[in-house]
Amino acid sequence: MNILAKQSILVMGWAVVGSQVVTYAIVQMLAPDYLDTAVKVSPMVSAFVAAPLTYAFFRQNVKLEESNKQLAIANQALGVETEIAKKEATLDPMTNVLNRTHFVRAIEENRSTKDNAGFFLMLDADNFKQVNDTFGHAVGDTVLLKITDVMRSTLREGDIVGRLGGEEFGIYLPGVTRQQAYEIAERIRMRVEDTSIEVEQGEFYNVTVSIGAVFAAKQHNVTQLMQMADRNLYRAKGKGRNQVVFDAYLSKEGTYQTRYQSA
């Protein structure tokens, strides 16, 4: 016997007992001559009326509970889908680092809530077009993923990294000195340089990157920092690639000095 039937019988039994008590009291007062007949008929009438009503009531409750369970499952699934949608809207789909829009927002938020200096790095895979043209886009994608892995394993908790487009990445290092920023940038460059990708059986391609960096002065917004870091990046490219170039200081007058140099 299922739970619904057991609950129906239990409630119906109490209904019959209650009906008899009430019937006995009323008939005793109003028509005592019919008491025996009323007591005999009352349980049958009560059972006849209570049975279908009780069953219908509990059946409706069961349906309601099942609907609530299904709703809870649907809400949970919707929550998961919402989190996935948020993640997809925030991250670059291939490298799984922040996309350009959310990278900029993350830096702006960090700089608005924390009063500390930082450095902005612009990183670019060397000869990337040649890689795609020579070995195909699948190898090019592998290059980007290898670079991303190196950045993740090298950067500290709280550092911000994003894909700016194509083979270009941005990194924001909050709360570091110039020497610390340079060491992080050099570590990334050297670890990428030690990375090789098998492009054909027995043939390997050595990945390298160029990095340009600037001091993230408060008076410069993220767009300006990108522009200045980009100039240093292409300075590194012009000097032979696989290099780190810093342009890190403000003059005593508070103006930005365009002075290209390796750290």
User: What secondary structure letter does DSSP report for 93?
Assistant: T
CB count, 10 Å around CB of 55? 17
- CATH for 100-247 is 3.30.70.270
Average pLDDT over residues 50-70: 68
Active site residues: 167
Please tell me the least confidently modeled range out of 25-29, 71-75, 207-211, 251-255.
251-255
**Predicted confidence (pLDDT) per residue in 91-109, tens digit:** 999 999 999 999 999 999 9
CB 205 within 8 A of CB 131: yes
Displacement of CA 212 from its chain's centroid (Å): 29
**Predicted confidence (pLDDT) per residue in 12-43, tens digit:** 565 666 566 656 556 556 566 555 665 665 66
**Predicted confidence (pLDDT) per residue in 136-145, tens digit:** 999 999 999 9
pLDDT band, very low/low/confident/very high, at 202 (cuts 50, 70, 90): confident
Alpha-carbon gap, residue 183 to 205, rounded angstroms: 25
Contacts of 174 (CB under 8 A, 6+ apart): 110, 111, 114, 116, 118, 158, 159, 160
pLDDT at 82 (0 to 100): 47
- CA distances (Å), origin 36, targets 2, 51, 171: 36, 24, 94
Could you give the 3-state DSSP secondary structure of residue 35? helix
Q: What angle do CA 106, 109, 115 make, to 5 degrees?
A: 125
pLDDT at 117 (0 to 100): 78
> Which pTM was predicted?
0.65
Q: At 212, which helix (H) or strand (E)?
A: strand 209-215
| Domain segments of the chain as ranges | 3-90, 100-247
93 vs 75: which has the higher pLDDT: 93
Share of the chain above pLDDT 70, in %: 64
pLDDT at 70 (0 to 100): 72
CB count, 10 Å around CB of 225? 25
Alpha-carbon gap, residue 55 to 183, rounded angstroms: 76
Displacement of CA 34 from its chain's centroid (Å): 76
